[in-house]
C-alpha cells in the first residue's frame, strides 16, 4: 500500500465512522483489511482501495468500515459502572420516575451485546426491588456483523469466562455444543438497531441512562465534542452518562459534569450559568452569597 | 502475600497456572492429586485452591468434600479448573461449595477475571 492509498483510507474512515488513524497505525489497517481483500478475491490492499473508490461500491465500503471497528467487549466490563447502575442510577431514577414507572437505557456502542445483556441480567437479579417498573434497553452499533452476533446472544467458552460470574452462567445461559446462548428471557429485554454515531440519533428519543463506553477514544476532539453535545440533547436533566474507564468529558463539553466519587459517571450539568456567576461573586459580596446558598 | 494451592495431575498445567498466579502476586503450592492437596492443606491452609476435577488417587470433587469435612470453618476459596465444561458438572461443583469455575483451556485473562470475581484480587 502506498502513502496516497493509506491517506485515502484514513480520510475515508474518518468521514464514515469517525475513526482516527495515525501514521503508525498502517499495520492495523493491513491486518484488518487483508481478510476483506481475500473474501473478494482482490490481489492487494491497493486493489481494495481502487475498488472502494468506484461509484456504487457501497456494500464493500461498508465492509471496510466494519472491518476497521474494534469490537472487544465482555460481560460486566470494568465492573464499577454496573455497581453504579445498581447502587446509584437505578435507585435515584426509580424514585424520580415513581409515577411514570418507565425508564429507557441506551448502549451506544453495544458491540456484540455483552453490555446491554449485563444490564438486563442486573435488572433480573433486582426483580424484587424493580417490581413492575418498565425498562427499555436499546443496543446500537455501526456494524451489522456484531449486531447479528448480539441478537443471537451466542458466545464462546472464552467469552463467557471473562467477567461473568459462574452463577450467572448457570442461571441465564444454555449450552449449545461448544457455545453458550443467553436465555430468550434476557434476549427479549434488549432491542437492537444499527446506528452510526456520526449520524443523527435524535429520532431515538430520550434516554434516562446512556452507556457510551470505549468508542469516543477512537474519535478526534471535534467528533467527541459533537457526539457528546448530541448525546446531551437526548437526556433529561436527571439522566446519567457512563463513559469508559479511560474517557472523560473534561475539556470536551460543558453539558455534563462528573458525579463526585463515581469514576466514569456523568450527569447533565445541574447548575445554571447564572447561579455559578452569583456564587463566584459571592466571595466579594457576602450578602449575595447568603441569599443563594441553601 | 496470598497463598494459592494449584491441584492438577498435569505438570504442564501446574506450571502454566503457577506462572499466571505468581504474576498476580500469589505464593504457590502444588499438588498432583486430591490426597496430596489435602495433606498440603493440613500443613498450611491456602487462601485459594485452583482445583482440577479428574485426577488419580483422589479427584477434585472428593477432595472438596473431604476438606469441607475436616476444615468447614476455615475453608479456602475454591476455584475449579477443569476440562469438564458442561452444565451438569458446573452445577454439581457449585452445589458442593465451589466459589468459581474455570473451563479449560484458560489464559491469564480468565484466571484474573475469576479471581476478581471471588474478591481475591
- Residues on chain A touching B106 (C-beta within 8 angstroms): 161
Query: Across the interface, which of A162, A170, A174 has its CB nearest the CB of B110?
Result: A162
| Mean pLDDT on A211-234 | 96
Query: Across the interface, which of A162, A163, A175 has its CB nearest the CB of B86?
Result: A175
Q: What is the pLDDT of residue A90?
A: 97
Cβ(A264)–Cβ(A83) below 8 Å: no
Instruction: Please list the residue range(s) of chain A that carry CATH number 3.40.50.150.
Output: 80-151+182-268
Cβ(A33)–Cβ(A18) below 8 Å: no
pLDDT above 70 for B107:
yes
In a domain, B82, yes or no: yes
pLDDT above 90 for A45:
yes
Q: Best interface-test mutation with A: which of B117, B119, B121 has the largest number of A CBs within 10 A?
A: B117
Q: Is A161's CB within 8 Å of B106's CB?
A: yes
Three-state DSSP state, A54: coil
User: Which pLDDT tens digit goes with each residue over A146-172?
Assistant: 999 999 999 999 999 999 999 999 999
User: Which pLDDT tens digit goes with each residue over A165-207?
Assistant: 999 999 999 999 999 999 999 999 999 999 999 999 999 999 9
Instruction: Please list the residue range(s) of chain A that carry CATH number 1.10.155.
Output: 3-67
A194 at interface of B, judged by CB pairs closer than 8 A: no
CATH of domain A80-151+182-268: 3.40.50.150
Give the chain A residue whose CA is nearest to the CA of B94: A167
- The residue segments making up the domain with residue B89 are 3-116
B-contacting residues of A 171-190, CB under 8 Å?
174-175
- Residues on chain A touching B77 (C-beta within 8 angstroms): none
Cell 496430596 -> residue:
B36
In a domain, B86, yes or no: yes
CATH of domain A3-67: 1.10.155
Q: What is the pLDDT of residue A294?
A: 46
Q: Best interface-test mutation with B: which of A157, A161, A168, A182 has the largest number of B CBs within 10 A?
A: A161
- Residues on chain A touching B100 (C-beta within 8 angstroms): 165-166
Q: pLDDT-derived band of residue A81, with 50, 70 and 90 as boundaries?
A: very high
Cβ(A231)–Cβ(A241) below 8 Å: yes
Residue B29 sits in a domain whose CATH number is 3.40.50.2300
Q: What is the pLDDT of residue B98?
A: 97
In a domain, B121, yes or no: no
Q: What's the grid cell of residue A115?
A: 453490555
| Number of structural domains chain B divides into | 1
Closest CA relative to residue A173, chosen from A113, A129, A130, A213: A113
Q: What is the pLDDT of residue A102?
A: 96
A31 at interface of B, judged by CB pairs closer than 8 A: no
ipTM of the complex: 0.94
pLDDT above 90 for A293:
no
User: Which pLDDT tens digit goes with each residue over A91-132?
Assistant: 999 999 999 999 999 999 999 999 999 999 999 999 999 999
A80 at interface of B, judged by CB pairs closer than 8 A: no
Q: pLDDT-derived band of residue A279, with 50, 70 and 90 as boundaries?
A: low
DSSP code string of A185-219: HHHTTEEEEE--TTS--GGG---SEEEE-SSGGGS
Cβ(A7)–Cβ(A13) below 8 Å: no
Amino acid at each position: 500500500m502506498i502513502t496516497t492509498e493509506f491517506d485515502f483510507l484514513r480520510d475515508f474512515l474518518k468521514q464514515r465512522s469517525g475513526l482516527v488513524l495515525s501514521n503508525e497505525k498502517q499495520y492495523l489497517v493491513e491486518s484488518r483489511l487483508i481478510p476483506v481483500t481475500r473474501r473478494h478475491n482482490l490481489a492487494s490492499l491497493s486493489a481494495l482501495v481502487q475498488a472502494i473508490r468506484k461509484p456504487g461500491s457501497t456494500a464493500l465500503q461498508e465492509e471496510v468500515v466494519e472491518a476497521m471497528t474494534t469490537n472487544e467487549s465482555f460481560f460486566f466490563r470494568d465492573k464499577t459502572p454496573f455497581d453504579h447502575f445498581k447502587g446509584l442510577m437505578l435507585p435515584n431514577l426509580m424514585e424520580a420516575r415513581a409515577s411514570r414507572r418507565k425508564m429507557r437505557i441506551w448502549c451506544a456502542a453495544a458491540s456484540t451485546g455483552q453490555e446491554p445483556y449485563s444490564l438486563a441480567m442486573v435488572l433480573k437479579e433486582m426483580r424484587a426491588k424493580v417490581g413492575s417498573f418498565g425498562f427499555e434497553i436499546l443496543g446500537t452499533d455501526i456494524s451489522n456483523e456484531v449486531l447479528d452476533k448480539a441478537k443471537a446472544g451466542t458466545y464462546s467458552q472464552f467469552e463467557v469466562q471473562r467477567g461473568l460470574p459462574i452463577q450467572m452462567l448457570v442461571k441465564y445461559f444454555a449450552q449449545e455444543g461448544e457455545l453458550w446462548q443467553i436465555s430468550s428471557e434476557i434476549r427479549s429485554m434488549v432491542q437492537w438497531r444499527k446506528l452510526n454515531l456520526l449520524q443523527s440519533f435524535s429520532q431515538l428519543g430520550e434516554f434516562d441512562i446512556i452507556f457510551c463506553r470505549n468508542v469516543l477514544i477512537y474519535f478526534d476532539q471535534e467528533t467527541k465534542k459533537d457526539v457528546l453535545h448530541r448525546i446531551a440533547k437526548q437526556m433529561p436533566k436527571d439522566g446519567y452518562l457512563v463513559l469508559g474507564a479511560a474517557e472523560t468529558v473534561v475539556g470536551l463539553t460543558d453539558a455534563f459534569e462528573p458525579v463526585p466519587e463515581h469514576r466514569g459517571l456523568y450527569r447533565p450539568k445541574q447548575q445554571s450559568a447564572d447561579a455559578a456567576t452569583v456564587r463566584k461573586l459571592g466571595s466579594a459580596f457576602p450578602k449575595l452569597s447568603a441569599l443563594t446558598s441553601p | 502475600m496470598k497463598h494459592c494451592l494449584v491441584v492438577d495431575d498435569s505438570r504442564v498445567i501446574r506450571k502454566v497456572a503457577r506462572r499466571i498466579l505468581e504474576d498476580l502476586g500469589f505464593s504457590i503450592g502444588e499438588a498432583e492429586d486430591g490426597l496430596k492437596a489435602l495433606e498440603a492443606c493440613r500443613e498450611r491452609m491456602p487462601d485459594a485452591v485452583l482445583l482440577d476435577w479428574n485426577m488419580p488417587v483422589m479427584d477434585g470433587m472428593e477432595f472438596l468434600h473431604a476438606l469441607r469435612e475436616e476444615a468447614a470453618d476455615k475453608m479456602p476459596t475454591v476455584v475449579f479448573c477443569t476440562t469438564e465444561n458442561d452444565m451438569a458438572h458446573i452445577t454439581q461443583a457449585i452445589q458442593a461449595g465451589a466459589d468459581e469455575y474455570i473451563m479449560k483451556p484458560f489464559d491469564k485473562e480468565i484466571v484474573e477475571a475469576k479471581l476478581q470475581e471471588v474478591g481475591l484480587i
